[in-house]
Structure formats: structure tokens, C-alpha cells
Amino acid sequence: MRRIIAFLFLLAAPLWSQTSQSIDASETVVVAPMLTLSKSQDITWGTHFAQEGDVFSSTTNYAAWLGQTDVGNHLSVVVSAPLALNKQGGTGSVPVSYGATSAEITNDIIVNRFNPATGIPNFGPVGSPGTFTITLGKGATAADQVTVHLSNAQRGTYSGLITLTVTVL
């Protein structure tokens, strides 16, 4: 019995005389870039006659988007714009053209006009407070405008979609 008690005592007692131990645990966090984008204005061409020929966007009639991202981010912008507006409920289309500098991105610090056909591969860094605006067709010169060509168009309603893609780099 003494041997059993002595053996149990040895099992309960630490084999080494340690006063402290340490071991690491890791911590991981992923911070994703914040990006929001919303459309704030459409190009509204209104009602026109085919005889008018070309109709232009203006400083009041243009497409616009508002966005927000983290301060310091760089952005890539791609504009997918139709080359023609298609007739609703029928066949036919009217051509649309975009001036060489008809797109613009600004964040109140940097203003950059660019060709919507090529987009802008790297805009930034975005300054405080992290907001930016992108417009298409807001201008007073042909290079800064969007043009719908109505010559020889048949009566009807024509429409198309402009898709804006913004990516945080």
C-alpha cells in the first residue's frame, strides 16, 4: 500500500520544477477595400426630330455616378458604352459617339478627363474624404460630349445602357 501511495504521489507532483510557461497564439485580420458606387444621373435625350441631325450632351444633360472608397486607394475605371441606341419594340438603331475626353473622374483634389473607350487604368490616390464622381458627356466642347446621331432615324423610342465598372487596385 505504501508503494501505491508513493507512486500516486509521484504522479501528482511535477517532474520538473517549472515556475512559468509561455506559448503563442496568432491573430489574423483581413481589411478589405471599401467601395460603393451609385448612379446619380442618366443622359436624357428628350424628344427630337430626325432632321435635327446630331444632338449633344451638355453641362446639364450627362451621365453621372457617385462613389466612395478608402482614402489613399487607387481606382481603375472601365466605361462600357453602346455604339448605338436600339429601337424599343422594333428593329433599327441610332448611332452614338463619345468624345475623346468625354469621361471625367474627380475627387475634389484630382480632376482627370479621359477617353471612355480606353478607360482609366490608375486613378489616385483618392483624397479625403474618399468620395469621387465620374461623369460622361458633361462638357461644352465636342471632345467632352456624347453625341446621338438622328439623321435618317425612323420615329420611335431608342435606348441603351452605359455600364461603369470601378475596381480598387
The CATH number of whichever domain residue 79 belongs to comes to: 2.60.40
**What's the DSSP call for residue 164?**
E
Asked whether residue 61 is assigned to any structural domain, the reply reads yes
Is 14 inside any structural domain? no
Tally the domains of the chain.
1
pLDDT, tens only, 40-94: 999 999 999 999 999 999 999 999 999 999 999 999 999 999 999 999 998 999 9
Structural domain boundaries enclosing 52: 33-168
Does residue 24 sit within a domain? Answer: no
Q: What's the Cα-to-Cα distance from 50 to each of 45, 96, 147, rounded to whole Å?
A: 13, 14, 14
In a domain, 150, yes or no: yes
The answer as to whether 94 is a domain residue is yes
Q: 153 lies in a domain?
A: yes
pLDDT tens-digit profile of 113-136?
999 999 999 999 999 999 999 999
44-53 contact pairs (CB < 8 A, 24+): 45/148, 48/150, 49/150, 50/150, 50/151, 50/152, 50/153, 50/154, 50/155, 51/151, 52/150, 53/149, 53/150, 53/151
C-alpha cell at 129: 474624404
Within a domain: 6: no
Residue 38's SS3 state is strand
Query: Does the pTM exceed 0.85?
Result: no
Judge whether 37 lies within some domain.
yes
Q: What residues have CB less than 8 Å from 27, skipping those under 6 apart?
A: none
Phi and psi at residue 4, to the nearest 5°: -65, -45
Q: Which stretches within the chain are classed as H helix?
A: 2-12
pLDDT of residue 111 exceeding 60, the answer is yes
Cell numbers placing 83: 455604339
